[in-house]
A and B are shown apart, each in its own frame.
Chain A
Amino acid sequence: MSTNLAVINEEGNVLCHRYLLTHGQPIRAIQEGLREILSLIPNGMEIHGVGTTGSARQLAGVMVGADVVKNEITAHAVGAIHFFPDARTILEIGGQDSKIIIIRDGLVVDFAMNTVCAAGTGSFLDQQALRLNIPIDQFGQYALRSKSPARIAGRCTVFAESDMVHKQQVGCNLEDIIAGLCEALVRNYLNNVAKGKEILEPIIFQGGVAANEGIRSAFERELGKRIHISKFFNVMGAIGATFLAQEKMDGGGETHFKGFEVINLHCKTRSFECKECENVCEIVAFSIGDEITAYWGDRCGNWENRL
């Protein structure tokens, strides 16, 4: 959904960060993001290490030459712990998934991610905002204005939408419907993703959806606890990846960062099915210019080891 970049200095302070919508084209988004970051960082600054995370971590990793390629659960936890060292629960709702991370004494001890259904993630909120013709950044304010939220079923987004349509046809006002939706999504999150987890304070809420005050206040009402939102809530994964890269590079070694030239290079991916065995893996080939620089997606490693 989004492509996020962040730059930190040796002391771990965030110098600059960018949040871009991917629009389905990760390579272009990464190039665009790097271009913007390049204009923001102070002159003469050197990059000592790069980390990538998220669902396109592999792609981004080979593109920029990452030193660390990490899953987003670890990255989010590392980022949050840096800003809230005593955090014990992280609620994270992004564009396409939601997770809960349980932390004790600064260490991740448990986590869960939505499994069979993505109901209640950012994409659905976006969709509904579009349908109701409300800018997504005002969605939360609408919810906060409601006096009596409408009862909406949040287990499945398709049913949630038909509930919303039904409520609007019987005459509920928009604010109540939106507030009802926020409550439904929070209930769904707590019953599914966070089921059986011990949610202790301090609670940190991050990911793109943390911008939505309606969801935040629904969480606070449902849990009866205060929710903290970091200044960098929507780029926390990227920030976490920078800390992971820093940790790695402190152990010595040269960075693999390819420099900002990649902004202007012609990068391209191509995918095909390998027919060598009955696994029929989907292989992705990544090329810069005419030269293929990486393969992934093969179970056996034959493609990956080819280069």
Chain B
Amino acid sequence: MKITVPHCGQMDIFINALCRRIGPEFIIPPKTSPRTLDLGIKYSPESTCLPFKFILGNFIEALEKGADTICMISDHGPCRVGMYDIVMQNILTEMGYRFNWITMDNNQILRSHLLIFVREQRKRGVSPLDALRALLFSWKKMKVCEEMERLTHKTRPYEVNRGETTRVYGECLRLIDGVANLRELKIAREDALSRLASIEQDRTRHPLKMLITGEGYMVINPHANQDIERRLGEMGVEVTRTMWFTSQIAHATRLDHFKKRSKSKAIRASKRYLPHNIGGECNASIGYAILYAREGYDGVIQLLPFGCILESVAKNILRTVSRDYDIPILTFSLTENLSETTITTRLSAFVDLIQRKIKGKGK
């Protein structure tokens, strides 16, 4: 079995760590590139949303690389991700590929998948204890990766040489991806921390604080959101985002109950505006904007794939949130043909807007 998953944030590091320990063989799709998107666009229904096109492209490239089993999440409710697995299977079969398909259903993560997982491992002769250890190790690795990424968000607005943080962060990820056990992970973490700390910084700056919220795939993937975190960072903005691999899993397995900024808290915060949880990231998008506005953030950027109905609902409600909490909110509807200029123009205008607002208040 050669298993593959779509690119989603740094998830490949997690799966890679897991599979290297206890198998099966994992095929990482080639890094999402313009070619990936071109393939996705070519074989997708025209009006489907952007994540579909990226993910389909990932699968095609992974199959080309020799994968034979595809693992894909699914969801209930109005979000179109619920139809992804069926439609993608049809498209790939029609293209002539042969493969096994595993649908990961959000609601059954503990009930069925863990059981399947355990049963599969036992067949290969991996004891449940080994499996658990491997899972914990991969989880820790992922935590370290996310810790590094959070640090880059804090460092980038201060960097003196544009691009240095991004370059160092890339090195750190490779370092962490390479380690094989907890002891090495600890050393790699220290090393990565000192590398990030040695980036030349100008601490006299006063970065704005912004939250990136919206549809999960667009928020977590730089290739889908035109690298918005880096762009904002280089404009002197400290960003944070709503969507992280570990927080998402923690929410699905209900392990994030006591976290300060958990998704459940965000959903609860949105109750005043949208009493019913309508699914997808809609309620969380609204709720996170409220949570961070209360924390004193300067602005919120909402990302949605063009045509996403849930986020379009959120977009209209966020307008009221923006008024109630006096926080500027900018919405980006992303499609495959959005040019770089439109992104940078709007981002820099948004940054200007907030800076002038703060300056005006100071007077």
- Residues in A103-136 with C-beta less than 8 Å from chain B: 105-111, 113, 115-116
Q: Is A74 an interface residue (CB 8 A)?
A: yes
How far, in angstroms, from A299 to B34 measured CA to CA in the complex?
Answer: 15
For the complex formed, measure the closest distance between the CB of B316 and the CB atoms of chain A, giving whole angstroms.
7
**Do the beta carbons of A73 and B345 come within 8 Å of each other?**
yes
Quick check: which of B159-167, B174-182, B213-221 contacts chain A, the rest being far away? B159-167
Q: Is B47 an interface residue (CB 8 A)?
A: no
Residue of A nearest to B165 (CB): A301
How far, in angstroms, from A113 to B331 measured CA to CA in the complex?
Answer: 11
CB contact under 8 A between A300 and B166, given known A107-B356, A278-B33: yes
- Residues in B319-363 with C-beta less than 8 Å from chain A: 319, 322, 328, 333, 335, 337-338, 341-342, 344-346, 348-350, 352-353, 356-357, 360
**Do the beta carbons of B349 and A111 come within 8 Å of each other?**
yes
CB contact under 8 A between A70 and B319, given known A110-B328, A302-B163, A305-B162: no
Q: Is B227 an interface residue (CB 8 A)?
A: yes
Contact partner of A109 among B34, B162, B333, B353, CB < 8 A?
B353
Contact partner of B319 among A196, A299, A304, CB < 8 A?
A196
Q: Is A173 an interface residue (CB 8 A)?
A: no
Residues of chain B within 8 A (CB-CB) of A74 are 348-349, 352-353
Q: Is A287 an interface residue (CB 8 A)?
A: no
**Do the beta carbons of B348 and A71 come within 8 Å of each other?**
yes
For the complex formed, measure the closest distance between the CB of A181 and the CB atoms of chain B, giving whole angstroms.
25
- Residues in A23-69 with C-beta less than 8 Å from chain B: 55
Residues of chain A within 8 A (CB-CB) of B345 are 55, 71-73, 113
A contact residues, total (Cβ < 8 Å)? 26
**Do the beta carbons of A305 and B161 come within 8 Å of each other?**
yes
How far, in angstroms, from A280 to B357 measured CA to CA in the complex?
Answer: 37
Digit string of B258-290 for contact with A (CB within 8 Å is 1, else 0)? 000000000000000000000000000000000
Residues of chain A within 8 A (CB-CB) of B319 are 196
Residues of chain A within 8 A (CB-CB) of B166 are 299-301
For the complex formed, measure the closest distance between the CB of B286 and the CB atoms of chain A, giving whole angstroms.
16
For the complex formed, measure the closest distance between the CB of B210 and the CB atoms of chain A, giving whole angstroms.
16
**Do the beta carbons of A280 and B333 come within 8 Å of each other?**
no
CB contact under 8 A between A111 and B353, given known A299-B227, A301-B164: yes
Residues of chain B within 8 A (CB-CB) of A115 are 306, 333, 338, 342
How far, in angstroms, from A110 to B323 measured CA to CA in the complex?
Answer: 11
How far, in angstroms, from A215 to B2 measured CA to CA in the complex?
Answer: 61
Digit string of A92-109 for contact with B (CB within 8 Å is 1, else 0)? 000000000000011111
Contact partner of A300 among B163, B333, B346, CB < 8 A?
B163
Residue of B nearest to A101 (CB): B349
**Do the beta carbons of A113 and B346 come within 8 Å of each other?**
yes
Contact partner of A70 among B163, B306, B333, B352, CB < 8 A?
B352
Residues of chain B within 8 A (CB-CB) of A73 are 345-346, 349, 352
How far, in angstroms, from A302 to B164 measured CA to CA in the complex?
Answer: 9
**Do the beta carbons of A280 and B34 come within 8 Å of each other?**
yes
Residue of B nearest to A102 (CB): B353
**Do the beta carbons of B349 and A71 come within 8 Å of each other?**
yes
For the complex formed, measure the closest distance between the CB of A97 and the CB atoms of chain B, giving whole angstroms.
8
How far, in angstroms, from A115 to B306 measured CA to CA in the complex?
Answer: 10
**Do the beta carbons of A301 and B163 come within 8 Å of each other?**
yes
Residue of A nearest to B164 (CB): A301
**Do the beta carbons of A71 and B342 come within 8 Å of each other?**
no
For the complex formed, measure the closest distance between the CB of B329 and the CB atoms of chain A, giving whole angstroms.
9
Residues of chain B within 8 A (CB-CB) of A305 are 161-163
Residues of chain A within 8 A (CB-CB) of B344 are 71
For the complex formed, measure the closest distance between the CB of B203 and the CB atoms of chain A, giving whole angstroms.
20
CB contact under 8 A between A116 and B316, given known A299-B230, A300-B167, A301-B163: no
Residues of chain B within 8 A (CB-CB) of A298 are 163
- Residues in B175-194 with C-beta less than 8 Å from chain A: none
Q: Is B65 an interface residue (CB 8 A)?
A: no
Q: Is B31 an interface residue (CB 8 A)?
A: yes
For the complex formed, measure the closest distance between the CB of B186 and the CB atoms of chain A, giving whole angstroms.
29
Contact partner of A113 among B306, B322, B342, B352, CB < 8 A?
B342
**Do the beta carbons of A116 and B164 come within 8 Å of each other?**
no
Residues of chain B within 8 A (CB-CB) of A71 are 344-346, 348-349, 352
For the complex formed, measure the closest distance between the CB of B178 and the CB atoms of chain A, giving whole angstroms.
19
How far, in angstroms, from A2 to B345 measured CA to CA in the complex?
Answer: 18
For the complex formed, measure the closest distance between the CB of B236 and the CB atoms of chain A, giving whole angstroms.
14
For the complex formed, measure the closest distance between the CB of A286 and the CB atoms of chain B, giving whole angstroms.
16
**Do the beta carbons of A278 and B357 come within 8 Å of each other?**
no
How far, in angstroms, from A71 to B345 measured CA to CA in the complex?
Answer: 5
For the complex formed, measure the closest distance between the CB of A69 and the CB atoms of chain B, giving whole angstroms.
9
Residue of B nearest to A197 (CB): B319
How far, in angstroms, from A278 to B32 measured CA to CA in the complex?
Answer: 9
For the complex formed, measure the closest distance between the CB of A40 and the CB atoms of chain B, giving whole angstroms.
29
For the complex formed, measure the closest distance between the CB of B242 and the CB atoms of chain A, giving whole angstroms.
22
Residues of chain A within 8 A (CB-CB) of B349 are 71, 73-74, 108, 111
**Do the beta carbons of B360 and A107 come within 8 Å of each other?**
yes
Residues of chain A within 8 A (CB-CB) of B167 are 300
Residues of chain B within 8 A (CB-CB) of A304 are 162-163
Residue of A nearest to B319 (CB): A196
Residue of A nearest to B36 (CB): A278
For the complex formed, measure the closest distance between the CB of A194 and the CB atoms of chain B, giving whole angstroms.
13
For the complex of A and B, 5 pairs with smallest distance between CB atoms: A301-B163, A73-B349, A301-B162, A74-B352, A71-B348
15 pairs of residues in contact across A and B, judged by CB atoms under 8 Å: A55-B341, A55-B345, A74-B349, A105-B360, A106-B360, A107-B356, A107-B357, A110-B353, A111-B353, A115-B333, A115-B342, A299-B227, A299-B230, A301-B161, A305-B163
Beyond A71-B345, A73-B346, A278-B31, 11 additional pairs, beta carbon < 8 A: A71-B344, A71-B346, A74-B353, A108-B352, A108-B357, A110-B353, A111-B349, A111-B353, A115-B342, A116-B338, A299-B166
